Amino acid sequence: MTDAVAAARLWEPGPAVIPFIKGRVALYAILRAAGIGPGDEVLIPGFTCVVVAGAVGYTGARPVFYDIVPETYNGDPEQAVAMITERTRAVLVQHTFGMPADLGRLPTLCRERDILLVEDCAHATGALTPAGPAGSLGDAAFTSFQWSKPVTTGLGGAARINRPDLAEKLRRIADEEFDEPSLLKSLTLLTVSSAFEHLFRPAVFWTVRDAYRWLGKRGLVAGSSSAAELVDPAIPAAYAETFGRPRHGQIARVLRRLPATIAHRTAIARRYAEWCDGHGFARQHETVGSASAHLRFPLLVNDRPRLLADARANRIEIGDWFNAPLHPAEAAGEAFGYTPGTCPVGDRLAQCVINLPTHRRVSGHEAERVLSFMDRHLPLVVRDPHRELGLDNARGKRA
């Protein structure tokens, strides 16, 4: 069995893997199964999606944020270690943009102190580390199968448990406290997912994104996040749902494609990396011995609004995750426990990061089209983030 196939099989439904309607719901279920609740604290990186902090808060626990390493966009494990207190019940590590995180001393320390170590693999389904596939390193992990992820079922996610005692508790909670989506909802998701699979192309990225968000806000399609989920720290109605049995076959189908998908993403990311290196631009560092899932290829730019406006006008697919320490920017970060300045590096990078597409619809020709667009915006690309963005000063203030 190849490493890529093993990484895909890691997420096949079974005794250790339970699918849920979304990755964030899988995280919520993991924390519930571990008995985490009021009075507890969960450490999470301050460069993530607001729904991650929401999933923590819905248990009654308090999210506590640690800063990121600018070279990797992943959480700083040493800062997480320094922030552990007697209230810390879990530490979440995120493999941002598919790049496996350096866990540092966290696995050993969490084991010694009986702290749950959870991997956020939402960007990293199929990523590999020297110690094994992402998702196999901690006590538990969750991933996402949503529209923009390495493999997609439309909406969906999964929880993986690497401790047998916790797996039993998770399955019991899923059976007793989580609802099965209605047959109509499952069939609708299957239909929309199939349409997305066959119709989406990079040239229509902006049109599809705008239409999807418009329909989602009006409840006409199942959006990634409801408007309330971005601003209200109370758990939404109909949040605790499993994946839906009528769609279970989807997971097996998309996972079978994962090795080929990762190979394609790697080839596109390699071309972007060559372009960066040729111009002397900073790019995401890869941990020695790891293999990224290459969900997106991040770059730092000045005047991001101008660049994105030009990309829209030229029908170039470019994303802006994470445009806030708790993405998206319109989310009410403080309502979910994040105070601006808590994670200065995350704050600063969120003002400047863009990401280039690597998905299966990005052909070699399309990648060159993206790079030709970036060639016309070379003065905006950051070469030295420490000097140009003042990151050393930001980290000093945090310390």
Stretches in the chain below the pLDDT threshold 70? 1, 194-201, 203-206, 208-223, 393-399
pLDDT at position 398: 44
Q: What is the pTM of this model?
A: 0.93
How far is Cα of residue 84 from the mean position of the Cα atoms in its chain? 23
103, 57, 101: which is closest to 80 by C-alpha? 103
What is the rounded CA–CA span in Å between residue 312 and residue 373?
11
What is the rounded CA–CA span in Å between residue 66 and residue 106?
13
Helix (H, G, I), strand (E, B) or coil at 30: helix
Which helix H or strand E contains 248, and what residues bound it? helix 248-279
Distances (CA, A) of 369 to 116, 120, 353, 379: 44, 32, 20, 18
pLDDT at position 188: 79
Distances (CA, A) of 332 to 96, 231, 319, 340: 22, 5, 21, 11
Query: Which pair of structure tokens corresponds to residue 233?
Result: 């720290």
pLDDT at position 287: 83
322, 294, 345, 335: which is closest to 75 by C-alpha? 345
238: phi > 0 → left, psi -120 to 50 → alpha, else beta; which? Answer: left
Helix (H, G, I), strand (E, B) or coil at 109: helix
Q: Are 276 and 299 in contact (CB under 8 A)?
A: yes
Q: Are 253 and 190 in contact (CB under 8 A)?
A: no
- Exposure b/e, 178-188, CB count within 10 A at least 16 = b: beebeeebbeb
95: phi > 0 → left, psi -120 to 50 → alpha, else beta; which? Answer: beta
What DSSP letter does each residue of 355-373 carry, written as one string?
EEE-STT--HHHHHHHHHH
Task: List pLDDT tens digits, range 331-388.
Answer: 999 999 999 999 999 999 999 999 999 999 999 999 999 999 999 999 999 999 999 9
pLDDT at position 190: 75
Task: List pLDDT tens digits, range 20-74.
Answer: 999 999 999 999 999 999 999 999 999 999 999 999 999 999 999 999 999 999 9
Task: Determine the angle formed by the axes of helices 364-375 and 248-279, rounding to 10 degrees.
Answer: 40
What is the rounded CA–CA span in Å between residue 159 and residue 80?
23
pLDDT at position 359: 94
pLDDT at position 195: 67
Query: Which pair of structure tokens corresponds to residue 118?
Result: 């959870």
Residue 8 has φ and ψ, to the nearest 5°, of: -70, -45
Q: Which residues contact 110 (CB under 8 A, 6 or more apart)?
A: 91, 116, 117, 138, 139
